[in-house]
Amino acid sequence: MRTKSATRRQAILDSAAKVFQDTGYERASMSDICEQLGCSKATLYSYFPSKEQLFFEVVLSASEDEFQATHNALDPSIEDITEALETFGQRFLDFIYSPRVQAVRRLVMSEAGRGDLGRRCYDQGPLRSEAEVTQFLQTAMSAGKLRQADPKVAALQLRGLLEAEWIDRFIFHLFDKPSADEVSQTVKRSVATFMAAYGPTQQGA
């Protein structure tokens, strides 16, 4: 059960997320967030010492549970590496192209140049994801499920393949969310291309 303090903290994050999405980081103020929530500035600052810290926490709270669930799909016990990668790819695209995470990503992209905000968001998002996928691929390579290669490069290329069909449309706001069938077909094509490059039959190439 949440404590009263935890409940209040989540209410602040929810209100701040709405203000940031409605007005953008630069135009949003702590006063706006207080008004949205109906609390005093003293209360707000007792939980978050600055607008930047609050924004960073909004980003994390919007995606942390889904991030963990997505990367838990990287199960090294699954013998069929194609199946394992397709399961991960499906969850990964569902995650990053969900309306909520799209909104957060766009906020981060628009505000990342301010102070060390971009570095902090990168470290907690893409870099952390890269590390988990790299470890999974390294284990698969050691088990002979993939050919030996630089697992970090392979992780980056896998992500690139998964996003290749959607990233431009995301950047230019040309869709809300791919359909389930579109995601499934994208994942199959992406993993097939990845396995053509990194499958164990390529060992002697």
pLDDT (tens digit, 9 = 90+) per residue, 108-120?
887 777 667 788 8
For residue 18 the two structure tokens come to: 């709405």
What is the longest distance spanned by two Cα atoms in the chain?
67
The fraction of the chain above a pLDDT of 90, given in percent, is 66
Phi/psi of residue 45, nearest 5 degrees: -70, -20
Quickly tell me which residue has 């569902």 as its tokens.
94
pLDDT digits (tens, 9 = 90+) for 7-50: 999 999 999 989 988 888 888 999 999 999 999 999 999 999 99
The second-level CATH assignment, the architecture, of 1-49 is: Orthogonal Bundle (1.10)
**Pair 137, 146: CB distance under 8 Å:** yes
**52-200 to CATH, choices 1.10.3720.10, 1.10.357.10, 3.55.10.10, 3.40.120.10:** 1.10.357.10
C-alpha separations of 8 from 11, 63, 92, 152 in Å: 5, 19, 31, 40
Question: Which tokens sit at 67?
Answer: 């991030």
Residue 63 · residue 101 · CB < 8 Å: yes
In the DSSP assignment, the letter for residue 172 is: T
Domain ranges of the chain: 1-49, 52-200
Pair of tokens at residue 131: 């590390």
pLDDT digits (tens, 9 = 90+) for 85-101: 999 999 999 999 988 88
Angle between helices 151-163 and 180-198 (to 10 degrees): 150
Is residue 205's pLDDT more than 60?
Answer: no
Burial class (CB in 10 A: 0-12, 13-18, 19+), 25: buried
Instruction: Say which residue, 137 or 174, is predicted with more confidence.
Output: 137
